[in-house]
Amino acid sequence: MKRTDYPAVGETLYTAALSNGLPIFVVPKKGYRKCFAAFVTHYGGADRCFVLEGAEKDTPAGVAHYLEHKMFDMPEGNVLMRMEATGANANAFTSEAVTAYYFTCTQRFEEDLRLLLRFVSTPYFTQESVDKERGIISQEIRMYEDDPDDQVYMNLMRLLFAHNPLRDDVAGSVQSIQDITPQVLYDCHRMFYCPSNMALCVVGDVDPEAVERIAAEVLPAEKSPVPGRDYGPAESLEPVEKRCERRMEVSAPIFLAGLKLGAEPTGPEGQRERLIGSLALRCLYGKSSPAYLRLYDEGLLNATFSAGADYAAGEGFVVFGGESRDPDAVAKALLEAAADVGKNGFDPDLFQRQKKAVYGGRIRALGDFRGLGVAIAEGAFAGYQPLDGFQVLETITCDDASAWVRDHLVPERAALSVVLPREARG
């Protein structure tokens, strides 16, 4: 395996690529009992349209997530129980862009790793088990329907995007999952769970060579082509609509504003672009930014506020929101703060100390095994290595951050989603 050292932050990365196209990443952590491993496919809720044997397939919303639930079924039974029987804590999640299967364990790592690789590469679906899961997933969807944060987010996506699948919830709807059959799951597995479309990331006190050896043993040797996906025609930079609201059982208004960033940036240049964005957002809307502190002091924002950029399904977008008694005033004030930076630039002192804080935050993040492992997989799919970020961060200037705000955070690209409390019954 190839070894890369990051002496300034005390990390080492081992990488390899198997003949079947699977990239492997190992970050050894000396002295830790805990090991984390994630087997991640570059396939998420947004990957709904693709070409299979020359035919265009359009799958229902929620397939990737449904597949995630059913992957744990093996001919010999549910593998989640088997992994727990070794003491491992196994789980999975589906986002718009990826599906990740992972475990943490403190013993019998190699056994668990074999199990992980084997069950994720073994599709086994019966009509009965697929039908049975519908009740469980319906309850999961029902849970999201009652979750105001989830609802305010989905409504925002529908404001921002005209046709991109980001408009649909990753889990789909109770309606859309009715049409999911074992055959649909088999097709999607065949397309997207080939090693060349996946990444294996391990963080812990393990032997990197052993990880590579086990993966080569368990997984098929042949290389399958990486499927192309279709998110429809390019989105414009402007939202479909500017504002929406709905009423739910909440104590105070909840809001989420979003701005479209355009095409998802990839490769090392894309990494730099993303880092500039996250640093700029911290300076502009972070918990120590002048805008946040002023609105907090005025009682218009509280600690539920957060801001960040996200990239999926070929698109980039910024979201910021939280609770506020006056969402429209807050959104307006925050966009004005962006306009002001666009005009005058960031205060260089503010930028320098925020950069220091970002360094500290990234050091802290190295202790989060799951976060690190998943970030490395996502980075692999977008063509960059997150651990290079420390060095890239050094090169980012105050002007870079100011220019990013000026070029991206303009009011024409913004939309506002609001959830209001129910009106008093009477």
Both tokens of residue 79? 């593998």
Closest CB to another protein among residues 123, 204: 204
The three-state secondary structure class of 56 is strand
Written as one string, the DSSP assignment of 159-176 is HH-SS-GGGS-TT--TTG
Q: Under the criterion CB under 8 A, does residue 246 sit at the interface with another protein? A: no
Order of strands across the sheet that contains 198-204: 2-6, 11-17, 23-28, 198-204, 35-41, 99-105, 89-94
Contact 66, 135 (CB under 8 A): no
The three-state secondary structure class of 398 is helix
Q: Under the criterion CB under 8 A, does residue 426 sit at the interface with another protein? A: no
Stretch that binds another protein, among 52-60, 74-82, 206-214, 234-242 (CB under 8 A): 74-82
Q: Under the criterion CB under 8 A, does residue 344 sit at the interface with another protein? A: no
Stretch that binds another protein, among 13-21, 141-149, 185-193, 230-238 (CB under 8 A): 141-149
Q: Under the criterion CB under 8 A, does residue 86 sit at the interface with another protein? A: yes
The three-state secondary structure class of 361 is helix
Among the listed residues 11, 53, 68, 249, the single catalytic one is: 68
Closest CA to 214 of 39, 5, 86, 2: 39
For residue 123, the tally of other CB atoms under 10 A from its CB is 19
Closest CB to another protein among residues 203, 261: 203
Q: Under the criterion CB under 8 A, does residue 329 sit at the interface with another protein? A: no
Q: CA–CA separation, 72 vs 128, rounded Å? A: 15
Contact with another protein (CB under 8 A) among 132, 163, 213, 246? 132
Stretch that binds another protein, among 39-47, 82-90, 214-222, 396-404 (CB under 8 A): 82-90
Q: CA–CA separation, 232 vs 215, rounded Å? A: 35
CB of 366 to another protein, least distance (A): 6
CB of 193 to another protein, least distance (A): 22
Closest CA to 29 of 200, 208, 199: 208
Enumerate residues 350-409 that contact another protein by CB under 8 A: 353-354, 356-361, 363-364, 366-367
Q: Under the criterion CB under 8 A, does residue 299 sit at the interface with another protein? A: yes
Q: Under the criterion CB under 8 A, does residue 303 sit at the interface with another protein? A: yes
Q: Under the criterion CB under 8 A, does residue 136 sit at the interface with another protein? A: yes
Closest CB to another protein among residues 136, 263: 136
Closest CA to 105 of 82, 78, 77: 82
Contact with another protein (CB under 8 A) among 243, 287, 332, 406? 287
Closest CB to another protein among residues 228, 360: 360
Closest CA to 408 of 261, 284, 241: 261
Q: CA–CA separation, 242 vs 311, rounded Å? A: 21
Q: CA–CA separation, 65 vs 151, rounded Å? A: 18
Q: Is 68 a catalytic residue?
A: yes
Give the residues lining the site for another protein (CB under 8 A).
Answer: 8-10, 31-34, 78, 80-81, 84-89, 104-107, 132-137, 139-140, 142-143, 145-148, 248-252, 254, 287-288, 290, 293, 296-297, 299, 302-304, 323, 353-354, 356-361, 363-364, 366-367, 422
Active site amino acids: 68
